[in-house]
Structure 1
Amino acid sequence: MRKILIVGAGQSGLQLALGLQSQGYEVTVMSNRTPDEIRGGRVMSTQCMFDRALSHERDLEINFWQNQAPKIEGVGISVAGPDGSRPIDWLGRLKGFAQSVDQRVKMAGWLETFAQRGGQLVIHGAAVSDLDFFARTYDLVLVAAGKGELVSMFARDGERSPYDAPQRALAVSYVNGLGPRPEHPETEAVRCNLVPGVGELFIMPSLTNNGRCDILFWEGIPGGPLDVFQDIRDPAEHLATTLELMERFLPWEYARATKVELTDAGGTLAGRYAPTVRKPIGRLPGGGAVLGVADVVVANDPITGQGSNSASKCAATYLDSILEHGDRPFDEEWMQATFDRNWESVRHTTRWTNAMLAPPPEHVLNIIGAAGQSQQIADRFVNGFDDPSDLEDYFFEPEKANAFLAEATAAAGPADS
């Protein structure tokens, strides 16, 4: 029986731990918090998982909240005009539903399941010196904790990291009481509101500790009018500021948010980080090596909503690589090959996310505008959230975009928004 240590208890680490456990591996998970501490703590993220990522949870039969979480059927794009208008406003339909489950709910539940199934759960923060010891004790050590000292073991990959500073200031509020969009009151959808030169507001239906909720998520260009949350400590002030900015820039979203309240005292989050790709192998002082997982080695900005999706896909890829490797040593050559296998998928996400952080070129504006006139184009674009590799065929180069629009426009039916 092979012994594997996973440091970190997020989407990727726990999904991988449960997958390995189901295959008879002896797995230890190190978490710096107990399930109850996670469940009762502050929100950790936004998350909207699309069909391909959710399929990995279904395969492992750990999709415990599928019947409780809202089934998200579409993604809407709105662009704000200078006078509070919406020159662009449309809804694309997803082929398979998406869902969002508060990570406080999911990670606490998964940790408890892992322990109930006989997994070794160690509640303790890990330092590099700890891993030096563990690397001699376990067949493989995986680092899935994307913050803190351990990340410093993984060198930045400058060729794959075009940004060296945060590109957005992030502010999250989990709320109850949000009304529906009147134009599609029956449709659960993620709403992406773009304010040119200012930032973005994302609204997504979710499931939290006390039931259904919605997430209000501002992404502000640093130094701009949305970059005001860094010094706010009071949750009520955080929400009030969120709503003031909605009223100022996105009055159609504010109109359905006048009665919202926070889900709980821990329902806000603010921060920023530089999107970074790192080398996958961390080398320890004693000569051992550990493998980085998910956002430890590929930390994209959340502007395209891909964090939990990439984490799930990484866990699935790593699980396959571990199972296929049998009883051979998990050497550095295997570690690099395992990361490279995952990179084949996540590179599309990274390219798309980095592109969305920059001012959109004309051909991208043309795609977004054309989607308002063609349901086919709208649907094709929003299903890129599920499979970002499809964007390679039409999104990045003007020539491909023009050819796509010409073909799609000729065959398009009327939009439904």
Structure 2
Amino acid sequence: MRKILVVGAGQSGLQLALGLQSKGYEVTLMSNRTADEIRSGRVMSTQCMFHTALQHERDLGLNFWESQAPRIEGLGVSVAGPTGEQPGTTPRVIDWVGKLDGYAQSVDQRVKMAGWMETFAQRGGQLVIHGAAVSDLDYFSRTYDLVLVSAGKGELVSMFGRDASRSPYAEPQRALAVSYVHGLGPRPEHPEFDAVRCNLVPGVGELFIMPTVTLSGRADILFWEGIPGGPLDAFKGIKDPAEHLALTLELMEKFVPWEYARATKVELTDAGGTLAGRYAPTVRNPIGRLPSGGLVLGVADVVVANDPITGQGSNSASKCAASYLDSIVERGDEPFDESWMQTTFDRYWETAQHVTKWTNAMLGAPPEHVLNLIGAAGDLQPIADRFANGFNDPSDFENFFYDPTLTGAYIAEVGESQGPAGERVP
């Protein structure tokens, strides 16, 4: 039986550990926190997983919270006009919602990671609670057939050098601020179904709102992404959760009053329901070399870390874990050598490259043809639906998003197929 060490107990590390365990590998999982510490700690992320990523969980029988989490059936975009003089007067110049072909869901990672970790141990996996250092991996690499590093922060990441050719940004492009809340009202435009709402404030940043399930049941995530140095870059140094939420709501009232209108009665889900920070989106070389010469393979955001502006983090982690699992199983008894490690990453990169390209594009000022596309989606429902489903399959953006000629042709094609009132022409 081949022995594999997985370092890091996030979406990718746990999904991979549980997947390998189900395939008969002898798996050790190393985490710097216990399940109880994760469950009682601070929120770790925003997350909204779309159909393909959710299916990877279903395939492994790990969709434990599917019946509890809200079914997210749409993805909406609103664009703010010039900020009004008085609070609550900023207009919307664009507002639409696209329907997803398969529903999305969000589960607070404190719930999921704690539950998955306990499942791994119950199924006979060896769980080691220890914050691993490079020296630890140097020792373990001699006793395991393969060491996978899925801990995306700290000393271990330094083993994986930055790939400058795939990392256009050296500095963070957004300041991030998250609040998990109860008491948010529905969007009046579609009270009958849940949707992720993407609110774009040109030159300022973005507010994302997504339904989720947390420790205390149904909730919603309020997530500001602020351009550094701008008015949304205001959360640094705020430690008090109540102050964090108050500032979140104050900024909503000023920049996205249509969302503030349904947030006047919200309260934090718990004392750990806020998070703030920033990081530079980075692609790294996938193979880490230990002082002894041993090799380790980086997983998910250790090697491909994108800004959360496109909501791809947990999706990419799930897709990476699924891809790596296939590569490991297909390897059979052959050695997990450097060549195999590079090939395994390259296989994942075939998917990940589309996420990185799209995310980096969304971090910049949108060009005219993209603005035209987003505007057209308000009049042409097929465009809104296709844009929404791009969150599940970002490779489709190659066909209609980046190239002005392709974008223009696509808008014209859809326009010709629709009647004056947006109804399809027979």
TM-score class normalised by the smaller sequence: over 0.9
1:116 maps to 122
Mapped pair 1:14 → 2:7 = no
CA distance in structure 1 between the aligned counterparts of 2:10 and 2:80, rounded to whole angstroms: 35
2:76 maps to 76
Q: Deviations over 1:132-168 (max 9, x none)?
A: 0000010000000000000000000000000000000
1:60 maps to 60
CA distance in structure 2 between the aligned counterparts of 1:187 and 1:88, rounded to whole angstroms: 20
Alpha-carbon contact 1:12-1:294 (below 8 Å) kept: yes
Query: How many angstroms does 1:108 deviate by?
Result: 0.1
CA distance in structure 1 between the aligned counterparts of 2:349 and 2:42, rounded to whole angstroms: 31
2:179 equivalent among 173, 191, 206: 173
Q: Deviations over 1:221-279 (max 9, x none)?
A: 00000000011000000000000000000111000000000000000000000000000
2:31 maps to 31
Mapped pair 1:151 → 2:157 = yes
SS, match of residue 385 in structure 1: coil
CA distance in structure 2 between the aligned counterparts of 1:206 and 1:412, rounded to whole angstroms: 35
Q: Deviations over 1:338-366 (max 9, x none)?
A: 00000000100000000000000000000
SS, match of residue 225 in structure 1: coil
CA distance in structure 1 between the aligned counterparts of 2:44 and 2:137, rounded to whole angstroms: 25
Alpha-carbon contact 1:281-1:289 (below 8 Å) kept: yes
Mapped pair 1:302 → 2:308 = yes
Query: How many angstroms does 1:412 deviate by?
Result: 3.1
**Aligned pairs for 1:221-232 within 5 A:** 221-232=227-238
SS, match of residue 390 in structure 2: helix
1:241 maps to 247
Q: Deviations over 1:43-89 (max 9, x none)?
A: 00000000000000000000000000000000000000113111100
Alpha-carbon contact 1:375-1:412 (below 8 Å) kept: no
1:345 maps to 351
Amino acid aligned to 2:302: V
2:335 maps to 329
2:219 maps to 213
Say what the alpha-carbon RMSD is for the aligned residues. 0.8
1:96 equivalent among 81, 102, 112: 102
Structure 2 runs not aligned, ≥5 long: 85-89
2:258 maps to 252
2:407 maps to 401
CA distance in structure 1 between the aligned counterparts of 2:415 and 2:176, rounded to whole angstroms: 36
1:371 maps to 377
1:134 equivalent among 140, 153, 169: 140
Amino acid aligned to 1:3: K
1:201 equivalent among 203, 207, 218: 207
1:387 equivalent among 393, 404, 410: 393
1:275 maps to 281
Q: Deviations over 1:190-235 (max 9, x none)?
A: 0000000000000000000000000000000000000000110000
1:161 maps to 167
CA distance in structure 1 between the aligned counterparts of 2:129 and 2:271, rounded to whole angstroms: 24
SS, match of residue 162 in structure 2: coil
CA distance in structure 2 between the aligned counterparts of 1:410 and 1:46, rounded to whole angstroms: 39
1:125 maps to 131
Percent identity among equivalent residues?
79
1:317 equivalent among 314, 317, 323: 323
Alpha-carbon contact 1:372-1:415 (below 8 Å) kept: no
Query: How many angstroms does 1:183 deviate by?
Result: 1.4
Mapped pair 1:286 → 2:285 = no
SS, match of residue 68 in structure 2: coil
CA distance in structure 2 between the aligned counterparts of 1:14 and 1:236, rounded to whole angstroms: 32
Alpha-carbon contact 1:135-1:288 (below 8 Å) kept: yes
Amino acid aligned to 2:359: T
CA distance in structure 2 between the aligned counterparts of 1:333 and 1:135, rounded to whole angstroms: 17
Amino acid aligned to 1:137: T
Structure 1 runs not aligned, ≥5 long: none
CA distance in structure 2 between the aligned counterparts of 1:415 and 1:78, rounded to whole angstroms: 19
Alpha-carbon contact 1:69-1:99 (below 8 Å) kept: yes
Query: How many angstroms does 1:415 deviate by?
Result: 5.9
CA distance in structure 2 between the aligned counterparts of 1:277 and 1:239, rounded to whole angstroms: 32
Mapped pair 1:3 → 2:3 = yes
Alpha-carbon contact 1:171-1:219 (below 8 Å) kept: yes
Q: Which moved more, 1:396-405 or 1:140-149?
A: 396-405
Q: Deviations over 1:303-347 (max 9, x none)?
A: 000000000000000000000000111000000000000000010
CA distance in structure 2 between the aligned counterparts of 1:223 and 1:192, rounded to whole angstroms: 21
Mapped pair 1:46 → 2:52 = no
